[in-house]
Amino acid sequence: MTSDVVIVGAGPTGLLLASELALAGVDPIVLERLPEPTGLSKAMALLGRSVDMLERRGLLDRFAERAPVGPPVFAHFAMLPLDLAVVAELGLRGILLPQAQTEEILLERALELGVKIRRNQEVDGLAQDQDGVTLTVGGQRVRARFVVGCDGGSSTVRKLAGIGFPGIAPSRLLRLADFTVPDGAAGEGHLKLPTGERLPYFESGITPLNDGYFRVITNEPYPSDFDRDAPMTMGELQDSVQRTKGVQLPITDTRWMSRFTDATRQADRYRAGRVLLAGDAAHIHLPAGGPGLNTGLQDAINLGWKLAAEIRGWAPDGLLDTYHTERHADGARVLLHTRAQGALLLADERVASLRAVFAELLQDAPATRRVARLLYSLDTSYDMGGDQTHPMVGRWAPDVVLPHGTSLAEHLHDGRAVLMGARCPGWEDRVDAAPADTSEPMLVRPDGYVAWAGSPADGGLHLALKRWFGQPRADNARVAGQ
């Protein structure tokens, strides 16, 4: 078996990456060790920039068919509520949708684009050379020009490629369960306990899942003698709930119980030769607010067009290396705020004082906006090179409405870059030149970030096009006005 790209792991990150490559004319193969999707959901929502990215690929309507798209119902930092009115000013959107359904939608998308997905395929060997990578899968050799590990926090690809995974060992043990309750126990905004008490949703760590199930998460010190291989039991769950929340939940049944920790690690390289990492294979952390899924999808959008450019032969020198440069730094920001949230969740009198001070700070609108931008990747900015000074360069492009009735988001559906308000002779196969009645033309990369903005006469546009999209097809091609 041979392929330009083999993606190991058919979770949301791997499926979106496969779709991005297929959209750009590359034919990837996805290898998945499981025989079928588990149907289980660690993450329960898509939030912030990942929602915006799905819209710019024309996928948001598919998600809206399953769950409403709009402002989050509850935003928090370490369970300290954020003022939703302030968050709304940022245009923050969320989709309360279990990860399993997100995976279903992305699988459907990948199959529509002709992506080959092969299950029961467990990688047990990897060797790379100057021309490609050879994987061993169940005794069979699979050859690819590039391999991308999207195979989770225990990534086999990462280990076989010799990529370091430094970080912080676990100090907390969290238990999770999706459960049902007796008839009449689910009230408006709360659970009714057998004692007659009312346990409020969200603030207590109880989340209604909109399908008759509820989710509970507990957080305790990591036991020194803990056996991670021992199966989790209902008794273990209820004992943990009693210790952490002081109540006995009225559970009638569970469909999933699991444990996880606050271990925080990040791959020291997102690229090692022809092997790359994305999603949990590149970073693990406390799932405070579900940033893992969102960050993984953003990894996929950033990597897809760059890897496709390398394979199709028009990538400028160093383009693929910018995947590590850009996404490693963004991943480090996620580790920063999840570690901070983990510290604020500790049951300690000193931490309680810190929480009280932090809660006061979050009463100020500027502080709340800053925290929300950090949590939901709204503050992500990339170095676009050169000496550009326009404030939009490197930032997420606003969804400009164009004179002929379309929007920037619509022009990004096909995964190509968009140049608004200028021409780009020689780059038309890589860049969509969209007419725009604007005094500040912009070059927007396929991932939605502004690579250049200003006047076509300042020389910066030509440099930006070459930096991100290689040489024009004809050596004498020049942008109008250069």
In the chain, where the domains are located: 2-168+265-375, 172-261, 385-482
Question: Is there a common fold for 172-261 and 385-482?
Answer: no
Do 299 and 128 meet the contact criterion of CB atoms below 8 Å apart?
no
The answer, yes or no, to whether residue 478 has pLDDT greater than 60, is no
The answer, yes or no, to whether residue 477 has pLDDT greater than 50, is no
Residue 159 is predicted with a pLDDT of 98
Average pLDDT over residues 102-120: 97
Instruction: Specify the range with the lowest mean pLDDT, choosing from 26-35, 136-145, 396-405.
Output: 396-405
Residue 148 is predicted with a pLDDT of 98
Q: Which helix or strand (DSSP H or E) is residue 337 part of?
A: helix 321-344
Residue 197 is predicted with a pLDDT of 86
Please state the pTM of the whole predicted model. 0.93
Give the model confidence (pLDDT) of 154-169 as tens digits.
999 999 999 999 999 9
**Higher pLDDT among residues 86 and 306, named by residue:** 306
**Higher pLDDT among residues 263 and 387, named by residue:** 263
Provide the CATH topology of domain 385-482.
Glutaredoxin (3.40.30)
The answer, yes or no, to whether residue 457 has pLDDT greater than 80, is no
Instruction: Specify the range with the lowest mean pLDDT, choosing from 19-23, 26-30, 418-422.
Output: 418-422
pLDDT band for position 335 (cuts 50, 70, 90): very high
Write 37-42 long-range contacts (CB < 8 A, 24+).
37/10, 37/100, 37/103, 37/104, 37/107, 38/100, 39/100, 40/99, 40/100, 40/256, 40/258, 41/98, 41/99, 41/100, 41/101, 41/178, 42/99, 42/176, 42/258, 42/260, 42/287, 42/292, 42/293
Q: Which CATH number fits domain 2-168+265-375: 3.90.1150.10, 3.40.50.1970, 3.50.50.60, 3.30.2020.30?
A: 3.50.50.60
Residue 438 is predicted with a pLDDT of 59
Average pLDDT over residues 77-82: 90
Give the model confidence (pLDDT) of 212-262 as tens digits.
889 998 988 998 888 888 999 999 999 999 998 888 899 999 988 999 899
pLDDT band for position 323 (cuts 50, 70, 90): very high
Going across the sheet that includes 253-261, the strands are 206-208, 214-221, 172-180, 253-261
Residue 389 structure tokens: 């000074």
- What mean pLDDT is reported for the chain? 92
Do 309 and 470 meet the contact criterion of CB atoms below 8 Å apart?
yes
Residue 474 is predicted with a pLDDT of 63
172-261 classified as CATH 3.40.50.1400: no
Residue 403 is predicted with a pLDDT of 75
CA distances from 435 to 350, 438, 441 (A): 58, 9, 10
Give the model confidence (pLDDT) of 389-442 as tens digits.
899 999 999 988 887 788 999 999 999 999 998 889 999 999 998 877 655 799
